[in-house]
Structure 1
Amino acid sequence: MTVRDHAIDRDALTLTFVAEFAAPVERVWQVWADPRQLERWWGPPEWPATFTRHELEPGGEMRYVMTGPDGETSAGWWRMTDVEAPHRLAFDDGFADADGNPVPDMPVTHAEARLEDAGEGTTRMTLVSTFPSREALDELAEMGMVEGMSSAMAQIDALLADG
């Protein structure tokens, strides 16, 4: 099932992904709530993530490093702004330096994931990223954010099948 649709809205400064999974909401929530499961899908397959901090609570922080096929790394951080298990989480999302500190000259987005029962044991996940400017949206889109998130989310089906 996975990604059903994605849309860039340059006027609203958003990038939206809609995916459906053959699992109940509570199970899909676990792919966010369990850092080992989150590592198995956050980031494209060729750039797997390792979470070094995982605080899924309002005000909590997440830290991760993605490692590319040639050993290069890219770090990121999240600051959780809202968590309503098992239906919603929201966070600020940015790039980090090698020490996990935010990179000041890179855009920070705000992301919100909503999980809803789509009937017959299926969950719809809508992930909306809001950008601070049209330039930031274009910059991250040019860096491959659409393709990267699509391939990352495509890994969730196999993760859910593993139990």
Structure 2
Amino acid sequence: MKRKVGRRGGIAALAAMGAVTPAAAQVSGPREKVVYHLNQPGGEEFAFYRQFLVNVANHLTVLTPGQFDFRVVMHGPGVNLLRIAAKHDPQVAARIDELKLAGVRFEICRITLRNSNIRIEELYDAGEDDLVPSGVGQLGRLQWDGFAYIKI
């Protein structure tokens, strides 16, 4: 049976053969690129959003500070995390604040806002720089750029 050599094993083998140096094997920029996809409603008492934010926070605990690019892309009912839940539940708002301070970017679909007649001012702690032209388009672009896609 043939044994597969993973990325790490392959780089180590190449380095041992002198084909690549350890410095050349290191990746520049963020070590982990992650995008969470949020397009669901929050549920009763925002239970889904609360658990979603817990999952994001838990994921951060295993990343090296400053060595990641972490995004939450929201479209459709997912924008209600910022439109309704964060405005009505101080714990949800506090968790979002903590995640943002830790480096998580919350990106909002401009098409959803336009089609649902939602003004940016209706969203918790959101500005023009948080908008992306299309949530689904952004997910595709980020995956193309090497982001791990996570849907809960």
* TM-score normalized with structure 1 length: 0.25
Higher helix content, 1 or 2: 2
Higher strand content, 1 or 2: 1
Question: Which has the higher Rg, Structure 1 or Structure 2?
Answer: 2
